[in-house]
Structure 1
Amino acid sequence: MAISIYNDFSDYMMFKNIKKVDVIDFKYKNTVIDIPEELIIKQFGAIYEVHEKCMGFNGYLRNRLNNNTGKTIEEYKKSIKKLNVDIGNIKINGPQNSFEEIIIKYGEKVINRGEECIREVNGSNYLEIITRSMRRSEICLGNTDFQNLSRRDFIYVVDFKNCSYNMVEMDCFPLLSWLKRKGAKLNFCKLAKEFCYIEGLDVNSERFLIALISYPHEFMKCCNRYRAGKRMWHEDKFSQRIVKALVQDGDPLF
């Protein structure tokens, strides 16, 4: 049996009748907090259709498709360890600025929350989720927000560059996490359950998603930027940003 050859995975996606477009108009882009639940569930349907079309891909790509399975969890674990080290160093040397004072004040609580999220991930039969993903050759679009993916008469996608081998849950998590951090007033546990129902996934996947959405993403990201010396902002701006991060991360869902 001949193996189909494609330059990029996007070529295969278009072969499967997914339409490449330059832009998708989305009326809620400046008022994310008002996005209705029904629209998110409709987006889940579009995500599922993408998964159905690309799952089990066995063609040949001249430009290799990355395998990001488990990458996010490992990055989250590393962030926790690095923040632990940061706090230890600040305690030894004393805080050098207002940003580090905030790290001392809130950092250990954030670490405890992050560690609890990882325990919830491990308790969701995480290794079985990875095994299922690899067995089925699951592929994620990577960017499933409303300005990159839309379902009307066809499925429309603006950018395929984030496509990778990954657990299908990872096409839901960034979308719901982003909405939560933007302050959308939604029942995220209900939405995680709805996504899993559409995808035919079990309660372990629900638990996995809720754990990831609960992770203190914004706080960790701000600390990682500061540590890396990426002085994108003045010291006062860093302090303002990390205080904002505490608000954006909100409360855990479990």
Structure 2
Amino acid sequence: MMFKDIKKANVIEFEYKNAEIDIPEELVIKQFVAIYTVHEKCRGFNGYLRNRLNNNTGKTVEDYKKSIKKLTVDINNIKKDGPQNSFEEIIIKYGEKVIDRGEECIRKVKDSNYLEIITRSMRRSEICLGNTDFQNLRKSDFIYVVDFNNCSYNMVEMDCLPLLSKLKRKGAKFDFCKLAKEFCYIEGLDADSEKFLIALISYPHEFMKCCNRYRTGKRVWHEDKFSQRIKKALVQDGDPLF
């Protein structure tokens, strides 16, 4: 990237304090152009750094499938033994609906010619930046990037997903279907990529993440904290886009 006029920055100042809520749609589209410029400059690279770049093609979808299966097991176990705390009571109350939503998202991913998207990505050796947040990437006279550590071989759609998914979870009032379509237009992608993005943005990411943390014990939270967090997750995930 450094040889392609992409500059390393120590920090990128961002004027919007409550960025996810206050930013205008035009700035999101401008960020899409910055993302596309990175993709255009880096696509096709298969040189001596190959062994140091992870290949994350398809990883997110597989991780989402695993989370659905694990939550299904959790619910069955809780039903068998009975809920032990308020967090598990919430899992019993909402978990099956969340699983249904997650499974529908995966079905729509498959209906978007997912395997063709993977094939295209691998054929073109597409590279993603990984972190496309406003404070990590900016386009002005040059492309400026703070952190390159999340770069990987991946479908270019996956550089749009975290940006739009985060905006949606933070409560930004955008037409996300329209934004997904705009991203695909800028990248020269077809309607299948648009469907693919909408399906993944609709996935109940926060609820699943909270359940995964509870299961693995990565967060040493009191049960009340877990209960508060998963209630917040239901709000953040909002409604699906389809």
Give TM-score scaled by structure 2 length: 0.98
2:216 and 2:60 mapped to 1: Cα distance?
19
- 1:91 corresponds in structure 2 to 79
1:80 and 1:39 mapped to 2: Cα distance?
34
- How many residues align? The count is 242
Matched, 1:220 2:208: yes
Offset from partner CA, 1:148-167 (integer Å, 9 cap, x none): 00001100000000000000
1:225 and 1:165 mapped to 2: Cα distance?
27
What is the 5 A alignment of 1:139-158?
139-158=127-146
What amino acid is aligned across from residue 24 of structure 2 in structure 1?
Answer: P
What is the 5 A alignment of 1:9-48?
13-48=1-36
Offset from partner CA, 1:190-249 (integer Å, 9 cap, x none): 000000000000000000000000000000000000000224321101000000000000
2:146 and 2:61 mapped to 1: Cα distance?
27
- 2:48 corresponds in structure 1 to 60
Deviation of 1:64 after TM superposition, in Å, equals 1.1
Classify the secondary structure of the residue corresponding to 1:19: strand
Gaps spanning 5+ residues in structure 2: where?
none
Classify the secondary structure of the residue corresponding to 2:148: coil
Choose the corresponding residue for 1:203, options 191, 212, 216: 191
1:106 and 1:252 mapped to 2: Cα distance?
15
What stretches of structure 1 move > 6 A for 4+ residues in a row?
Answer: none
Offset from partner CA, 1:32-52 (integer Å, 9 cap, x none): 211110000000000000000
What amino acid is aligned across from residue 56 of structure 1 in structure 2?
Answer: G
Classify the secondary structure of the residue corresponding to 1:60: coil
Once the two structures are overlaid, the 10-residue window that deviates more, 50-59 or 123-132, is: 50-59
Choose the corresponding residue for 2:233, options 209, 221, 245: 245
Choose the corresponding residue for 2:224, options 236, 246, 249: 236
1:193 and 1:62 mapped to 2: Cα distance?
31
CA shift in 2, pair 1:231/1:158, >3 Å = closer
- 2:92 corresponds in structure 1 to 104
1:249 and 1:172 mapped to 2: Cα distance?
17
Give TM-score scaled by structure 1 length: 0.94
Gaps spanning 5+ residues in structure 1: where?
1-12
Choose the corresponding residue for 2:148, options 149, 160, 178: 160
